[in-house]
Amino acid sequence: MPSGKQILIEKLFHLSLNEINEKDEKEISDIITAALLLHGSHTPDNFECVTNIYYRKSKDSEYGTGKRQGIFIDNLDEFISDFIYELAALETVPKEIKEKYPSISKDEFWSILHTVNLVLRALEWNSTDAIVEQVNDDKSKEKLLKSSIRDLNFYRENKDITS
């Protein structure tokens, strides 16, 4: 029997690589929100959560980076990833977070939100990346990943990205 997580990841992975037809947005939103419920649970707080989001395409040049599609916050008409990006830009860690995690630094708080933003952006489709993302060559992927690991190790040793 498949898990809700498997269903959710499979659907989001497919949508991240394929542009949707705007007439299908309602059906796709229902699929994503149902998959979120399957992954979480059918509790009142999760039902309330999924009624505030939907999956859709951005309008032309709405964000200056081509068309995108992903999970939106309904009332704000904003990608969740963009909202998280704005939260990461806060100058201070919110006091509720600081109370629960007294030793958290501003950099750690930023890293948490920035990582969530990167994961969410990876699950979005973007017209500027669409051509590259259709290439499914394992050797090229491995080469690119090894190069990035080299860059990461260089940064860890030198705190510099100019290698």
Name the domain count of the chain.
2
The pLDDT tens digits of the residues spanning 38-75 come to: 999 999 999 999 999 999 998 654 555 678 999 999 88
Same domain, 33 and 109: yes
Residues 6+ apart with CB under 8 A from 122: 16
Burial tier of 32 (Cβ tally within 10 Å: 0-12, 13-18, 19+): buried
Domain enclosing residue 152, as ranges: 137-163
The pLDDT tens digits of the residues spanning 87-101 come to: 999 989 999 999 999
Same domain, 116 and 146: no
The pTM of the full predicted model, rounded to 2 decimals, is 0.85
Local confidence band at 25 (pLDDT 50, 70, 90 cut-offs): very high
